[in-house]
Structure 1
Amino acid sequence: MWHRDQPFEIAGATRRAHLKVRGLSAGYGAFLVLRDVSFEVKPGLTVILGPNGAGKTTLLRALVGLIPRGGEVLLDGEELAEKTHEVVRDGIALVAEGRQLFPQMTVLENLELGAWLAPKAQRQQRVEQVLQDFPKLRERGSQLAGTMSGGEQQMVAVARAMMSAPRLLMLDEPSLGLAPRMVDELLAIARRIADAGTTVLMVEQNVKKALAVSDRGYVMERGMLVASGPAKLLARSTIVREAYLGAQASDTTTAARAVQRSV
Structure 2
Amino acid sequence: MAPAHLKVRGLRAGYGPFLVLRDVTFEVKPGLTVILGPNGAGKTTLLRALNGLIPRGGEVLLDGEELAEKTHEIVRNGVTLVPEGRQLFPQMTVMENLELGGWLVPKAERASRIERVFADFPKLRERITQLAGTMSGGEQQMVAVARAMVCAPRLLMLDEPSLGLAPRMVDELLAIARRIADAGTTVLMVEQNVKKALAVADRGYVLERGALVASGPAKLLARSTVIREAYLGAASSETTTAADAARREKAAA
Change (3 A) 1:122 1:256: closer
Does the aligned pair in 1 maintain the 2:198–2:218 contact within 8 Å?
A: yes
Q: Secondary structure at the match of 2:88?
A: coil
Does the aligned pair in 2 maintain the 1:27–1:58 contact within 8 Å?
A: yes
Q: Does 1:16 align with 2:3?
A: yes
Q: What CA distance in whole angstroms lies between the structure 2 residues aligned with 1:23 and 1:254?
A: 24
How far 1:115 moved relative to its partner? 1.2
Does the aligned pair in 1 maintain the 2:217–2:242 contact within 8 Å?
A: no
Cα root mean square deviation, aligned: 1.9
Cross-structure match for 1:130 = 117
Cross-structure match for 1:221 = 208
Cross-structure match for 2:31 = 44
Q: Secondary structure at the match of 2:222?
A: helix
TM-score, normalised on structure 2? 0.92
After superposition, residues 10-89 of structure 1 pair within 5 angstroms as: 14-89=1-76
Q: Secondary structure at the match of 1:165?
A: coil
Does the aligned pair in 1 maintain the 2:162–2:193 contact within 8 Å?
A: yes
Q: What CA distance in whole angstroms lies between the structure 1 residues aligned with 2:155 and 2:81?
A: 9
Does the aligned pair in 1 maintain the 2:37–2:230 contact within 8 Å?
A: no
Does the aligned pair in 2 maintain the 1:236–1:256 contact within 8 Å?
A: no
Q: Which moved more, 1:167-176 or 1:111-120?
A: 111-120
How far 1:128 moved relative to its partner? 1.2
Does the aligned pair in 2 maintain the 1:17–1:75 contact within 8 Å?
A: yes
Q: Secondary structure at the match of 1:181?
A: helix
Q: What CA distance in whole angstroms lies between the structure 2 residues aligned with 1:59 and 1:214?
A: 18
Q: What CA distance in whole angstroms lies between the structure 1 residues aligned with 2:214 and 2:242?
A: 13
How far 1:127 moved relative to its partner? 1.1
Change (3 A) 1:145 1:253: closer
Q: Which moved more, 1:120-129 or 1:211-220?
A: 120-129
Change (3 A) 1:229 1:144: same
How far 1:238 moved relative to its partner? 1.7
Moved over 3 A (4+): 241-245, 251-257
Residue identity opposite 2:162 in structure 1: S
- Identical residues among aligned pairs (%): 85
Q: Secondary structure at the match of 1:154?
A: helix
Does the aligned pair in 2 maintain the 1:47–1:203 contact within 8 Å?
A: yes
Cross-structure match for 2:235 = none
Cross-structure match for 2:227 = 240
TM-score, normalised on structure 1? 0.89
Q: Secondary structure at the match of 2:22?
A: strand
Number of residues paired by the alignment? 244
Q: Does 1:150 align with 2:141?
A: no
Change (3 A) 1:254 1:194: same
Q: What CA distance in whole angstroms lies between the structure 1 residues aligned with 2:81 and 2:199?
A: 22
Cross-structure match for 2:189 = 202
Cross-structure match for 1:188 = 175
How far 1:244 moved relative to its partner? 3.9
Q: What CA distance in whole angstroms lies between the structure 1 residues aligned with 2:117 and 2:228?
A: 37
Q: Does 1:94 align with 2:81?
A: yes
For structure 1, list consecutive stretches of 5 or more residues without a partner in the other structure. 1-13, 246-250
For structure 2, list consecutive stretches of 5 or more residues without a partner in the other structure. 233-237
Cross-structure match for 1:164 = 151
The partner residue of 1:211 within 184, 187, 198 is 198
How far 1:243 moved relative to its partner? 4.1
Q: Does 1:178 align with 2:143?
A: no
Cross-structure match for 1:5 = none
Cross-structure match for 2:102 = 115
Change (3 A) 1:63 1:96: same
How far 1:242 moved relative to its partner? 4.5
How far 1:169 moved relative to its partner? 0.3
Q: What CA distance in whole angstroms lies between the structure 2 residues aligned with 1:230 and 1:167?
A: 22
Q: What CA distance in whole angstroms lies between the structure 2 residues aligned with 1:167 and 1:134?
A: 19
Does the aligned pair in 2 maintain the 1:17–1:199 contact within 8 Å?
A: yes
Change (3 A) 1:149 1:254: closer
Change (3 A) 1:255 1:224: closer
